[in-house]
Amino acid sequence: MTSLGEEIYLLRPKRARDQVEVYDVISYRLLRCLTVPNSRVFNDMTSCKDLLCLYISDPFVECIHRLELQGNYTQWPVNDRPSGLSVNADHNLIVTCLVHHILKEFSPRGDLLRDLSLPYDVINPWHAIQLTSGQFIVCHGDHHDPIHRVCKVSNPSALPTGGRIINSHGGQPGSNIGQYNRPSHLAVDDNEFVFVVDVNNRRVTLLSPTLDYKRQVVSSDQFKWRPRRLCLDVQRRRLYVAENEFKDGEYTTGRVVVFTV
């Protein structure tokens, strides 16, 4: 899920056509549908407002799909299982890779610019966002991992062994304040406050720029199922959160919940 201009873009796990639904940002009316050619499975989607395009990660084919709003389409390999996506200040795509626990930076045309090593204990990274300082906010931790947290990591290009953790929030998985149980997706506002989707605790947490706990933006009683992805519309101060029902080993239904922040 992502927003671009006056529209909201939502991924649907469809096998054939119309995988991306486009909604009006005011009325939430369905405007049209877009097809992503040669796609198999979706993991995440983001947009670039300057280049007017969408990026979609496909972990099955291990590639990135780039869909321009004018209709042009390209695809390039990641050679890893791509998870979360974000666009940095240089309009480059940051791809979080699960298998090798690294970040990859691609140009808008799909040229690999660099591999970014993460600290050794950042296991199963789900999503990363690069700040204007060059530092990264990263969330990580899967079911059996000993650490579930959000980290601020120094620019890995500055060190041959990878970036170092500057600040962090979380630790041993749990449900108390200061704990997470699979933090899977992030959003950062213009003041570098961080919104974190906590899947199994069914909540969204707000952290300060130094990753200190501020408050629960969305609590578990405001969700029907498990939240997995979020999108922040800074201009309208809206937080869009996608939640899904997981039943009998598959996702059966879902919805987008909108909050004012």
Give pTM, 2 decimals.
Answer: 0.93
Domain ranges of the chain: 118-260
Nearest 5°: CA angle at 111, between 153 and 45?
Answer: 65
Closest CA to 122 of 108, 93, 102: 102
CATH assignment, 118-260:
2.120.10.30
Those residues whose C-beta lies under 8 Å from the C-beta of residue 72, and which sit 6 or more positions away, are: none
DSSP conformational letter for 24: E
Per-residue pLDDT of the chain (261 residues; tens, 9 = 90+): 999 989 999 987 655 555 899 999 999 999 998 888 887 788 899 999 999 999 999 998 899 999 998 878 999 999 999 999 999 999 999 999 988 889 999 999 999 999 998 998 999 999 999 999 999 999 999 988 999 999 999 986 655 566 789 999 999 999 999 999 999 999 999 999 999 999 999 999 999 999 999 999 999 999 999 999 999 999 899 999 999 887 776 666 889 999 998
Cα-based angle 19, 24, 26 (whole degrees, multiple of 5): 145
**Cβ 163 vs Cβ 119: under 8 Å:** yes
